[in-house]
Structure 1
Amino acid sequence: MAGDADSEDKTLAPSQQRLDKAREDGQVPRSRELSGALSTFAATCAVGFGGAILVADSLTWIRSSFIASGRMVATARDNNAIVNAFYEMVGHALISIAPILGAAMIAGIIGSIGLGGLLLSSKALMPDFNRLNPLTGLGRMFSSRGLGELGKSLLKVIVLGGLGALLFWRGNADKMALIAGTQPSAITALGNMLRFDMLIMASGLFIIAAADVPLQWWNHHKQMKMTLEEMKQENKESEGDPHLKGKIRQMQRERARSRMMQSVPTADVVLTNPTHYAVALKYEEGKTSAPRLLAKGTDVIAARIRELAAENKIPVLESPQLARALYRHGELEKEIPTALFRAVAQVLAYVYALRAPGPSVAWQAVDVPPGWDPNDTDAIGRGRRAKIAAEKVAADKAAADKAAADKGASA
């Protein structure tokens, strides 16, 4: 009852990690009915088709054993000789039935690994004292698995009992007719009848196995199902605690921000929005092919970048479009995008002019190519319309020039 109550909470399909762990623990679907059916059928086939050879061998070693025993009793009571003769008789018997046992063993192994696959797990060999608990055993008895085992037992009785009764009534007249025949022919006919009956009864076990295989698979899948808490715990173990991961990411961002702020005093210029955005640029001639983005930020971080620039006497210039474009499209410690080279070159030219002696030039914000300013949502459309207008003007001019040329030619 308790097992069924617990299974009601398990509504999630088992994860691959849970299935792999269960396999390591030796928990795989197994069908004893399939293994038993294959083993019994293989042994029955071995007896049915090799029975004559088995009987002949058995008669030979039994006759030899009796003759040897009679000689020993008649001549001398040698206990060692009697024991040796007994061992020899047992050895001959085992050799005679070895094909039957081998066929049954191989078929049983095939049936065992047919459903769950080959599995070698030392954990499955460890003793489980929970199975000795009578309350646990009672719970299993009245669980859905216990009801399934009861259903299999009833099915086995019905199938095998029905086949046995059918074979008995079907061949009863033929067996009774053997009484009127000669002894050798009657024994041969009886052997053939029994061989047929054994094969039919052994084949009937596959009906039980066909019902047991999906049942065992369903029971295993149901047992492996997970609750929501188990799924969350597994995700924590495999991917890490989300809170811990969040703290780690926060620490990483703080360290990256600290390194970024440490590089601001080495910048050549800081561009602002003027208040919401700030980016720091540096160009090292001969070391890099283009300026690099040392730092970028918005709001509080942007204010801190401006403070550091003021403390270290770095030029702070207002260029809203370029600042937004660099913040959106630029990557830290990487060279700026190629499309922004011309705009940044104008900024650096102004900065270098400030360093040179002489009167300073008034600063004017630079524009960026259409589509690069994140706030200019219609820039691409305007650029496309401007291109169309330019193409129209060029076409009209070409048409006018052609008309003028045609008029001059006619004159």
Structure 2
Amino acid sequence: MAEQSEENEKSEDPTQKRLDEALERGDVAKSQEVSTWFVLAGGTLMLMAFANSMGSTLKGTLAGLIANAHQIPTDGRGLLRLSSNIGVEVIAAVAIPILLVALFAIAGNVIQHRLVWSTESLKPKFSKISPAAGLKRLFSKIALLNFVKGILKIALLGTVMAMLLWPERSRLDTLVTLDVAAILPFTSIFALKMLGFVVVILAFIAAGDFFFQYRQWYEKQKMSLREIKEEFKQSEGDPMIKARIRRIRETRMRKRMMAAVPDASVVIMNPTHYAVALKYERGDNAPVCVAKGLDAIALKIREVAEAHDVPVVENPPLARALHATVEIDQEIPAEHYRAVAEVIGFVMRLRKGLRN
């Protein structure tokens, strides 16, 4: 029981296959804080770069509207045309900044993981509508950590905002007495200053949250010893099946060898341990090995050879050398030509003498 418990405990690092499968399902390490930071940083940069141009464009549009208010037709068609023109000018003024902020939002996701195209999250699941599962998620450890993280983030940002506003409290009191044209430069500069501090603070929060989320995701992907064994069987093949296939191949090869022994020209043996059957016909470049084996297979080759009147020559050094250097259906190496030629010559002379 203890061994089974250890095998089922998810204590092993996930394999690359497991991580790839998680990515295909859309299960990736993702921090919402990183995405938020990219949107906020992009928005701040857009304000710094395009605030003046957007303000000038919208100011000119509204100034012209106010200056020519008495000439604007008040019928339905005229108001529709006016609304359309104002909408086009407003969209033209803010289109590029909004597009760039959208690109920053996409970058906030891409930088955390490569693009994922998965429909897994769209599939209906009972756990998504189950009240019990919802309560479990609501009061889970992750939910509690996210709540604490939110409180700390609000407290930290609130403290920084208070530290920025406190030195300016005397100037803020006098803003109500100033003209609008004098208020706008101060508020724009101060707002960008606050946004800059918020972006810097959220950068540290986003970095810490990403590493936390990645660690949580990685822990969730961990595997038990049993899962690793099952994955190995699926990817590499069941060892029992592989052994059976290997035995089948060996059996087929042995049958093919034994079927080729009766056609061999000679069998060279080391009496009981090695046997190599060679076939040579006139016109061949060199003798070809048609069968070879050790111990029991060697004795079987000898038995088949003797049953079909194939000459058996005992030459232990040559038998061992041929067994080590030549494969079945291959010609013998050149360094053994002379020794094998002597054996085959002896066999041919022997057969010729028997016929005479």
TM-score exceeds 0.5: yes
- Equivalent residue number for residue 107 of structure 1: 104
- Return the letter of the residue paired with 1:121: W
- Equivalent residue number for residue 43 of structure 1: 43
- Equivalent residue number for residue 240 of structure 2: 243
1:158 and 2:155 are equivalent in the alignment: yes
- Equivalent residue number for residue 204 of structure 1: 201
Bigger radius of gyration, 1 or 2?
Answer: 1
- Return the letter of the residue paired with 1:15: T
Please point out which of 295, 318, 323 is paired with 1:322: 318
- Equivalent residue number for residue 228 of structure 1: 225
Task: Write out per-residue CA displacement over residues 242-273 of structure 1, whole angstroms, 9 at most, x where no aligned residue.
Answer: 22222222221111111111110111122333
Kindly state the Cα deviation for residue 101 of structure 1 after the two structures are TM-superposed: 1.9
- Return the letter of the residue paired with 1:166: M
- Contact 1:279 1:297 survives alignment (8 Å): yes
- Equivalent residue number for residue 395 of structure 1: none
Secondary structure of the structure 2 residue equivalent to 1:357: helix
- Contact 2:23 2:116 survives alignment (8 Å): no
- Equivalent residue number for residue 367 of structure 1: none
Secondary structure of the structure 2 residue equivalent to 1:254: helix
Counterparts of residues 93-104 of structure 1 (less than 5 Å):
93-104=90-101
Kindly state the Cα deviation for residue 91 of structure 1 after the two structures are TM-superposed: 3.0
Please point out which of 274, 294, 297 is paired with 2:293: 297
State how many pairs are aligned.
Answer: 349
- Contact 2:12 2:224 survives alignment (8 Å): yes
Please point out which of 165, 170, 173 is paired with 1:168: 165
- Return the letter of the residue paired with 2:206: A
- Contact 1:175 1:190 survives alignment (8 Å): no
Please point out which of 120, 123, 134 is paired with 2:119: 123
- Contact 1:279 1:293 survives alignment (8 Å): yes
CA distance in 1, matches of 2:178, 2:69: 36
Larger mean CA deviation between 257-266 and 324-333 belongs to 324-333
CA distance in 2, matches of 1:185, 1:66: 21
CA distance in 2, matches of 1:278, 1:157: 85
- Equivalent residue number for residue 348 of structure 1: 344
Secondary structure of the structure 2 residue equivalent to 1:170: helix
Residue ranges of structure 1 left out of the alignment (5+ in a row): 361-411
Counterparts of residues 363-382 of structure 1 (less than 5 Å):
none
Kindly state the Cα deviation for residue 315 of structure 1 after the two structures are TM-superposed: 1.5
CA distance in 2, matches of 1:337, 1:103: 72
CA distance in 2, matches of 1:172, 1:207: 28
Alpha-carbon RMSD across the aligned residues, in angstroms, is: 3.0
Kindly state the Cα deviation for residue 21 of structure 1 after the two structures are TM-superposed: 2.6
Larger mean CA deviation between 136-145 and 251-260 belongs to 136-145
CA distance in 2, matches of 1:120, 1:174: 51
Residue ranges of structure 2 left out of the alignment (5+ in a row): none
- Return the letter of the residue paired with 2:320: R
Secondary structure of the structure 2 residue equivalent to 1:323: helix
Secondary structure of the structure 1 residue equivalent to 2:111: helix
Secondary structure of the structure 2 residue equivalent to 1:278: strand
Q: Relative to structure 1, is the Cα distance of residues 209 and 47 closer, same or farther in structure 2, using a 3 angstrom cutoff?
A: same
Question: Structure 2 length as normaliser, TM-score?
Answer: 0.85
Q: Relative to structure 1, is the Cα distance of residues 190 and 303 closer, same or farther in structure 2, using a 3 angstrom cutoff?
A: closer
1:213 and 2:201 are equivalent in the alignment: no
- Return the letter of the residue paired with 2:159: G
Secondary structure of the structure 2 residue equivalent to 1:296: strand
Question: Structure 1 length as normaliser, TM-score?
Answer: 0.74
Kindly state the Cα deviation for residue 176 of structure 1 after the two structures are TM-superposed: 3.1
Larger mean CA deviation between 131-140 and 161-170 belongs to 131-140
Counterparts of residues 23-102 of structure 1 (less than 5 Å):
23-65=23-65, 71=71, 78-102=75-99
- Contact 2:276 2:289 survives alignment (8 Å): yes
- Equivalent residue number for residue 253 of structure 2: 256
CA distance in 2, matches of 1:26, 1:274: 66
CA distance in 1, matches of 2:247, 2:146: 56
Q: Relative to structure 1, is the Cα distance of residues 253 and 161 closer, same or farther in structure 2, using a 3 angstrom cutoff?
A: same
Secondary structure of the structure 1 residue equivalent to 2:13: coil
CA distance in 2, matches of 1:128, 1:30: 22
Secondary structure of the structure 2 residue equivalent to 1:356: helix
